[in-house]
Amino acid sequence: MEISAEKIWNNCLVFIKDNIQQQAYKTWFEPITPLKITDNSLSIQVPSKFFYEWLEEHYVKILKVALTRELGDEARLIYIIKMENTFGNKAPFTESIPSSNQARMNAQQVDAPLQAFSNELKNPFVIPGIRNLQIESQLNPNYNFENFLEGDSNRLARSAGMAVSNKPGGTSFNPLMIFGGVGLGKTHLAHAIGVEIKDKYPDKTVLYISAEKFTQQYIESVKKNTRNDFIHFYQVIDILIIDDVQFFSGKSGTQDVFFHIFNHLHQNGKQVIITSDKAPVDMQDIEQRLLSRFKWGLSAELQVPDLETRISILKNKLFRDGVTIDDNVLEYVAKNIKSNVRELEGAIISLIAQSSFNRVDIDLDLAKEIVNKFVKNTKREVSIDYIQKVVSEYFQMDVATLQSKTRKRHIVQARQLAMYFAKKFTKASLATIGTQIGKRDHATVLHACKTVDNLSFTDKQFRKYVEDLNQKLSL
C-alpha cells in the first residue's frame, strides 16, 4: 500500500514535537507543507530561503533521524521553496533544494545547497568599499527621557520605555509597540529608549531605523543577491528599533523578511521596539502572523497631551533654549494649539524668531498673531472634539446628546457619523475614537464605520448627510 507524503510527514512531526521546545515547533515546523514522496525522497514546502537555511543550520540532525525512522537509511529530503515573485506575475514560483545533509542521508552525490551565511558581518549602513564592522546606533542623543515630559497622555508608554531601558529583552514588554498620531512623540520616545540602553549597556548593539529605510535596504539586498547578508546583519542586533512600521503595509517581501528577523531576535531574548501611527487592530495590509507578534508584548498609546502637560513641554523647551516668556503668553499658546507636540514647539519657535527678527517683545499680541497663523495653516488637521461639534450642530443637538447612551435612531446615526469622520480625518486609533465619543469600545467604532459605508450606498438621504458633513469638515 502506498504511503502518502502527509502521513510520512505527520509521523516525523510526532517525533520532532517530542524532542524540541513547543515554541520552536510552532515557529519552524507548523508552517511546513508536505508535497510528495518519490521513492525514498520526501519533498516539503517551506515559506522562504531563510526558513530553509534556518532548518538546515539548527534542525537538520533531528530531521535526519525522523525521516530515517520512516523511510530507512536511504531517506532523502528535498525543500520546495515558495519564492517571492518580483517580476509582476501573480503566480509564485518555486525552487527545489536538496538538504545539505544529503551526503549523510544518502550516499549518492547531490547538487550543492544554497551558500551559507558569510562569517563576515556585512553592514547595510556602511558605504561600499569602506571597511567598518562597528554598527552605529543611528540614535539622536537629543531625544532622551530627560526632555520627554511625563503626563497622563503618555505615562504608560514612558513607563514601559523606562522598564525596557533598565532590562532590555528581560521584560514582558517585548515587543514594545508605541502608537499614536502625528507629532505626539513616538520617534522621540523610541530614540530615548535606545539612548538610555546605550548609556546603561554600552556593550549591547542598538540600532534605530525607519521602516522605509529598512524596506529600501531589503529591496537593494534582493537586487544584489545579498539577502542572506541582510538577514544576518539584523540577527546580530541586541535592541532593534523600527520606526513607522505601518510603512510595511502591502509590502509582502519586507514583511516576510522582518517576520523571520523578529522571530530570531525574540527567541534569543533580544529586544524589539516598534512605532506606528495606528494600533495593531487598525493596521491594513499587514499579515496576520506579523500582527499577532506585534501583540505579544505591550501596545502603548501616545495621546494628545492635556493643557497642563502642554504648558510643561513649553516651559521645558524654553529652559533648554535659555529663553524666558511670561506665563500668560505660554498659557495662551498651550490653550490654542492642542493637536500635537510638534506644532506646539513649532509655534513657540516662530514666536521667538519673530521677536528676534523684528526686535519686539514677546507679548500676548504677538502670541495671538503667531497662533492665528498656525491654526490657519493647520486647520485641515481636524480633532475628534471638533468633529463632534460639527456633527452635533448639523443635526441640531448638543455634544452630550450625541455621546449619550440613547438608542434613538437619529442620535445613533449622528454618533456613527462622528465616529466615521473621526476615523477618516484623524490619526486616532479606533479605541481612542470610541473613548472620546461616549466611552465606546473599538468594536463599536468599527461597526459604525461599516454601517455608514453601507447606508451611503442604500439610503439617499443618509448619503446627503455624509456629503454635507464631508464638505464642512474639509473646509
Q: Cα(368)–Cα(308) distance, rounded to whole angstroms? A: 20
* CATH assignment of the domain containing 427: 1.10.1750.10
Q: Is residue 368 part of a domain?
A: yes
Given a cut of 90, is residue 130 above it in pLDDT? no
Mean pLDDT value of segment 421-431: 85
Give the number of domains in the chain.
Answer: 4
Is the pTM for the entire model greater than 0.75? no
- Same-domain pairing of 208 and 84: no
**Domain membership flag for residue 236:** yes
154 & 287 share domain: yes
Are 79 and 155 found together in one domain?
Answer: no
Domain closes at, from 302, 328, 351: 302
Domain that holds residue 88: 5-105
Average pLDDT score, the chain: 79
**Beta strands across the sheet bearing 76-83:** 33-38, 41-46, 76-83, 93-98
pLDDT at 142 over 90: no
Q: What is the mean pLDDT of residues 274-286?
A: 82
pLDDT in tens, 171-226: 888 899 998 877 788 899 999 999 999 999 988 889 999 988 899 889 888 888 88
* 441 found inside a domain: yes
The CATH code of the domain that includes 47 is 3.30.300.180
DSSP states of 64-131 as a string?
HHHHHHHH-TT-EEEEEEEEPP-SS-SS-EEEEEE-TTHHHH-SS-----PPPPPSS---TTSPTT--
For position 192, what pLDDT does the model report? Answer: 92
Both 19 and 36 in one domain: the answer is yes
The yes-or-no verdict on residue 120 having pLDDT over 50 is no
Would residue 110 count as lying in a domain? no
**What's the pLDDT score for residue 355?**
66
Instruction: Please indicate, yes or no, if residue 127 is contained in any of the structural domains.
Output: no
Residue ranges of the alpha helices (H) in 142-300? 155-166, 186-200, 211-223, 227-235, 252-267, 288-294
Dump pLDDT digits (tens) for 409-424: 999 999 999 999 998 8
Position 140 in a domain: no
* Residue at which a domain ends, from 377, 399, 431: 377
Q: Are residues 180 and 70 in the same domain?
A: no
